[in-house]
């Protein structure tokens, strides 16, 4: 089977990113001016790459981040399974010191293997990665050879673990910033990582 090239990017900046307010899957914000510029910078560098399929989440900030590619008429598949993790009661609210402490407590639990832990009314990493398996199978089974995926920070950490067959407890090995790139290759049934949290396109 011919190799596949998989480009996975996090969406560009929103005002909530700038203000450090949690969005999660329940807040559907637009990109801000910086985020729109980041999306254009990524497009400027990769517009000639022969993508034949674009996956996005169902959230606007994901789709706006690849607008240049969609305007070229590349096949676009919206997959809610790529949505960000649900942060439950944290979403859309300025963080208090108490919430920030609970957030880091949750991260430590996940890294220690308590992957069913979640913020009240939110989603656990196990639940998130379970839904992402639909996207995994779609990538492997479709005929597209060059795939662009735009998604979200915590969801991307989980998805990279899934693709690379790495324990979910290690998801924080995959740092991210707005409009960063992870590039993978899929050959003979295995994914390998080619670029790690690349921001070369933002420094043009």
**Residues facing 150 on adjacent strands:** 9, 56
Angle at 20 between CA 102 and CA 195, to 5 degrees: 95
Contacts of 6 (CB under 8 A, 6+ apart): 139, 147, 149, 163, 183, 184, 185, 186, 191
Which entry of 13, 84, 91, 123 is annotated as an active-site residue? Answer: 84
- In terms of Cα–Cα distance, which of 151, 71, 158 is closest to 123? 158
d(CA 116, CA 133): 17
**Ramachandran sector of residue 73 (left: φ over 0; alpha: ψ -120 to 50; beta: rest):** left
196 annotated active-site: no
Q: Residue 141 has which token pair?
A: 């089974």
Q: Is 81 a catalytic residue?
A: no
Annotated catalytic residues are 11, 84
């Amino acid at each position: 089977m011919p190799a596949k090239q998989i480009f996975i990017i996090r969406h560009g900046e929103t005002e909530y990113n700038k203000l450090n307010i949690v969005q999660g899957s329940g807040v559907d914000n637009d990109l801000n001016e910086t985020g729109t510029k980041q999306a254009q910078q990524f497009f400027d560098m990769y517009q000639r790459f022969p993508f034949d399929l674009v996956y996005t989440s169902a959230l606007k900030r994901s789709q706006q981040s690849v607008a240049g590619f969609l305007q070229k008429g590349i096949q676009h598949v919206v997959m809610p399974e790529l949505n960000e993790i649900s942060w439950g009661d944290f979403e859309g609210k300025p963080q208090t010191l108490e919430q920030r402490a609970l957030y880091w407590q949750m991260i430590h639990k996940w890294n220690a293997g308590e992957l069913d832990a979640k913020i009240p009314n939110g989603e656990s990493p196990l639940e998130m990665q379970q839904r992402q398996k639909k996207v995994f199978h779609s990538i492997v089974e479709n005929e597209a050879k060059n795939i662009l995926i735009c998604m979200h920070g915590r969801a991307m950490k989980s998805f990279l673990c899934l693709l690379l067959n790495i324990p979910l407890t290690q998801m924080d090995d995959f740092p991210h910033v707005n409009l960063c790139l992870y590039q993978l290759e899929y050959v003979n049934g295995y994914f390998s990582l080619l670029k790690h949290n690349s921001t070369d396109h933002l420094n043009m």
